[in-house]
Amino acid sequence: MDLNAKIYVAGSRGLVGSAIVRRLKEFGYKNILEKTSEELDLRNQAGVENFFCIERPEYVFLAAAKVGGIQANNNLPAEFIYDNLMIEANVIHSAHKYKISKLLFLGSSCIYPKYAPQPLKEEYLLTGELEPTNEPYAIAKISGIKLCQAYRRQYGDNFISVMPTNLYGINDNYNLDTSHVLPALMRKFHEAKLSGTPSVTIWGSGKPRREFLYVDDLANACCFLMQHYNDGGIVNIGTGMDITIAELAAIMAEITGFTGEIVYDTAKPDGTPIKCLDVSRINRLGWSAHTPLKEGIEITYQWYSGTGSSCYMTEKY
């Protein structure tokens, strides 16, 4: 990408989109298009097409999505499938219609089959049943990947798709009703420390294993792939290392300074038992993650305990 290229980051207020914008600016890109969901509702086909017609972006990072943890996916299945289908269909089709140079679509590692072999290789997609708690979201994201591949096969559009692992970092969603596990734990432990609450309760058994990637590392990977990858196959982005939820809770207690009891509510669902990505493909391309988990959590908590805890309690797209 030329430094003067017009780049549209869809979802620039969210965790991933805001990190991509930060990274692009660090690289020296100045012509970055950003629209809030209030300014441009990506579920609205006419609005999206009008935006592309007027602005004519050359590159698109499609990071906009409706996202959330187990509770949000359980409570809002219709919104998770409808909103994500509409967002990706509208943006991908307009990117084709107005002949952009390249589009990068963000999938998610949670759309792999629930009981796929570990670590998760790219070719495992659609080889088994999905995790029931997030099936609507997964179906929508799989559709986005297939849309990119279909436009590539039929029209030759340079649309690529990536599969990031569980993410965390600055500008995350800390709303306990809709957030993912790491930001939810950060808020719970932080507030328990401040209030002197003697215990923190965590959903599930604490035994599931998860991989976590600092979002600025993901942004770096996306920019790298936008420059160096032009194939139709999906690309995993992660660290290739996982820990149990119980181990994550212990790290979070240490970093936040919480010294009380950690209680596990086994009546709540665990979700997928283990989920770790095979990142050999992106490693062979020349990229690897560099932020250790504890360091990334410390950076995030420093931000969260300052301004983040009051400014970012809800989803932002």
* Binding site listing for substrate: 188, 203, 210, 270
Residue 261's region, left for phi above 0, alpha for psi from -120 to 50, else beta, is beta
Verify whether residue 317 is a known catalytic residue: no
Output the known binding site for NADP(+). 11-17, 106-109, 141, 164-167, 180
Report the C-alpha gap between 246 and 257 in whole angstroms.
16
Catalytic residue among 8, 29, 112, 137: 137
Contacts of 199 (CB under 8 A, 6+ apart): 192, 260, 261, 262, 263
Q: Are 10 and 94 in contact (CB under 8 A)?
A: no
Output the known binding site. 11-17, 106-109, 141, 164-167, 180, 188, 203, 210, 270
b (16+ CB within 10 A) / e for 4-34: ebbbbbbbbbbbbbbbbbebbeeeebeebbb
Catalytic residue list: 137
